[in-house]
Structure 1
């Protein structure tokens, strides 16, 4: 018997517990193959001979604070065609993601998304066989305004 897949909206709050303690508002983008997260101040380094990356991110849309540092092993580097049609080489990391009751591992490319509407895109590889998308609704699996984000938005205004 097929199990029912949860329905998600076109935007959701996604948790990345291995990277940061705050949820990030993500646009669900079935047109994008790989998921992407906003990053800047990227620094590569080696730990035990393995490549790692440290980067900064602003998890809240339209806010420069808080500025959070994240660290992850580098899984790969790939050429990705951005929304403007240009190809750029991006660092790929792998991390746990949580949306509603589902937790799974996703790949994220690191990209400057400061001018974009969302600090994170959840692409089709991440949602495939896990969720159904309701393109007319938002926040089907997450709160519209998580309390922790609301308090940070008010503090930085």
Structure 2
């Protein structure tokens, strides 16, 4: 009996994505199979404990707007950036929407103000969910839209 190949959606090297639980919609993101961990441009303002869980409050600044967000802190990890510099970063886990696909993904919070994209989607989030066409851009429909 032949097994049917699973057909995965195709993403380009850049896509618009959404983090609905954080109120962030249509964020331009770089798809980067060379990076293990996904990253979000965010500045941590404080950490708090609620109901026995650690939360991190942070601000996300992109497209000229500052957004205040809060998420459960999953970890603090040593992450090596593309320039080889190792940093300790807060890691959160939140639903991510790329096109019609929604799933929970981990993001390290980093200063990406010098980067072209406020978000980077790494290979751990992409694995077994998408195929990447590095010669194309904006192949997905941008995920959820803000109801405003």
TM-score, normalising length from structure 1? 0.85
Confirm or deny: 8 A CA contact 1:22 1:59 kept in the other structure: no
Distance in 2 of aligned mates of 1:33 and 1:19: 22
Confirm or deny: 8 A CA contact 1:100 1:142 kept in the other structure: yes
Q: 2:5 aligns to what?
A: 2
Matched, 1:23 2:22: no
Distance in 1 of aligned mates of 2:96 and 2:23: 11
Distance in 1 of aligned mates of 2:21 and 2:107: 13
Give 3-state SS (helix, strand or coil) of 2:109's partner: strand
Q: 2:103 aligns to what?
A: 104
Runs of 4+ aligned residues of structure 1 deviating over 2 Å after TM superposition are none
Give 3-state SS (helix, strand or coil) of 1:126's partner: helix
> Alignment length, in residue pairs?
142
Distance in 2 of aligned mates of 1:41 and 1:124: 24
1:23 Cα deviation (Å)?
A: 1.8
CA RMSD of aligned residues (A): 1.7
C-alpha spacing 1:38/1:21, structure 2 compared with 1 (3 Å):
closer
Deviations 1:51-107 (A, max 9, x none): 1100001132xxxx2100010010111100011111111111000001111111100
Match of 2:15 among 12, 16, 33: 12
1:69-84, aligned counterparts within 5 Å?
69-84=68-83
- Point out the structure with the larger strand share: 2
Distance in 1 of aligned mates of 2:26 and 2:94: 14
Distance in 1 of aligned mates of 2:141 and 2:61: 20
* Residue ranges of structure 1 left out of the alignment (5+ in a row): 149-157
Distance in 2 of aligned mates of 1:129 and 1:42: 34
